[in-house]
Amino acid sequence: MNTEITPPSIAAPAASYAHATLSTSANRWLHTSGVVPTRPDGTVPDPVGAQAEVVWANIGAILADADMGPENVVSVVTYVIPGQDMGAVMAARDHFLGGKRAASTLVVVAELVRPEWKVEIAVVAAD
């Protein structure tokens, strides 16, 4: 079972995430590499919100292949380049997770490996 840990003795999370996630019965752990916004046909959409949706769709495919789903995500690390619409990035995350709050880190980086990429996300999942 994965349980959100958000102690009342510290400041509440700044957005829709948990300070930590405790996995008390995990038998399987899945760690993704950084997942990028490339569609199966090799194209990359332009706006960062669309890129985030593609990344989450790709993460969904990885989870499904491991017989897991959004409910198994315990940690998210998001990398974005400066000047992006963070609201759109977070909205894509929140939509995919469906209200589940995972531990989450957001890092603004100067660039990603390919110049057209604006967002890259890695997750850890457990069941």
| Dist CA 29 CA 127 (whole Å) | 7
What is the percent of the chain with per-residue pLDDT over 70, rounded to a whole number? 99
Average pLDDT over residues 89-113: 95
Q: 93 and 99 in contact (C-beta within 8 Å)?
A: no
Q: What percent of the chain has pLDDT over 90?
A: 77
Per-residue pLDDT at 6: 86
Question: DSSP 3-state assignment of 113?
Answer: coil
Q: Which domains are present in the chain?
A: 14-126 (3.30.1330.40)
- The tokens describing 43, both together, are 């194209």
Confidence at residue 109, expressed as pLDDT on a 0 to 100 scale: 97
Tokens found for residue 67: 């017989």
Looking at this protein, which amino acid is placed at residue 117? W
pLDDT at 30 over 80: yes
- The interaxial angle of helices 48-65 and 86-97, nearest 10 deg, is 30
Give dist(CA 25, CA 40) in Å, integer: 34
Taking residues 4-20, report their average pLDDT: 87
pLDDT in tens, 64-94: 999 999 999 999 999 999 999 999 999 999 9
Mean pLDDT of the chain: 94
Across 53-58, average pLDDT: 98
